[in-house]
Amino acid sequence: MPVETFVVGALESALHAGEIVEAVHVPARSASAHWGYAKSCRKTGEFAHAIGAVLIDPAAASARIVIGAIDTTPIVITDAAELFGGRIAADYKQRFDVRVADALLAKAGIDDAAQRHIHVSVLKRAVQEAAA
């Protein structure tokens, strides 16, 4: 029976002793789906200080966003329309709202404004990569 396993932190999963991942299912995406990934680290090979990953499908008006390399479980946003002015369309790159992203990170408990700025900048780069 398939079991979903979630990342709970850096190098940490919800797997218990004796459990093993048997398969990974990645659903097929439509031709209109775009994705982008960006990270920030000081030196090559170093653990990232901020990670942003986006999967955006303007034709389906959907987006999934992950913000990682934070002091807690990665933030997964399955309904990301708010980050794009309330709707996801072909102009999503121009509609990405850094203020909404900053507020989302603050709500998640990231108090340091400089850290939030780094995460928002990396997320913006991931969105721009998806639109490229």
Share of the chain above pLDDT 70, in %: 92
72 assigned to some structural domain? yes
12 assigned to some structural domain? no
On whether the CB atoms of residues 104 and 96 are closer than 8 A, the answer is no
Q: Which residues pair with 9 in a beta bridge?
A: 12
6 assigned to some structural domain? no
The contacts of residue 21 (CB under 8 Å, 6+ apart) are 5, 15
Instruction: Work out the pLDDT band at 21, boundaries 50, 70, 90.
Output: confident
Instruction: For residue range 67-120, list pLDDT tens digits in order.
Output: 988 777 788 898 899 999 999 999 999 999 999 999 999 998 999 999 999 999
4 assigned to some structural domain? no
Instruction: Work out the pLDDT band at 43, boundaries 50, 70, 90.
Output: confident
Give the CA distances from residue 115 to residues 12, 59, 125, in Å, rounded to whole numbers and listed in that order.
22, 33, 16
**What's 108's domain CATH number?**
3.30.390.50
Query: What local confidence, expressed as pLDDT, does residue 103 receive?
Result: 95
Q: Please give the average per-residue pLDDT across 10-31, as a whole number.
A: 83
Q: How far apart are CA 17 and CA 110, in angstroms?
A: 31
Cα–chain center distance at 50: 10
Range of the domain at 79: 32-131
41 assigned to some structural domain? yes
121 assigned to some structural domain? yes
If one counts the domains in the chain, the total is 1
| Residue 4, pLDDT above cutoff 60 | no
5 assigned to some structural domain? no
45 assigned to some structural domain? yes
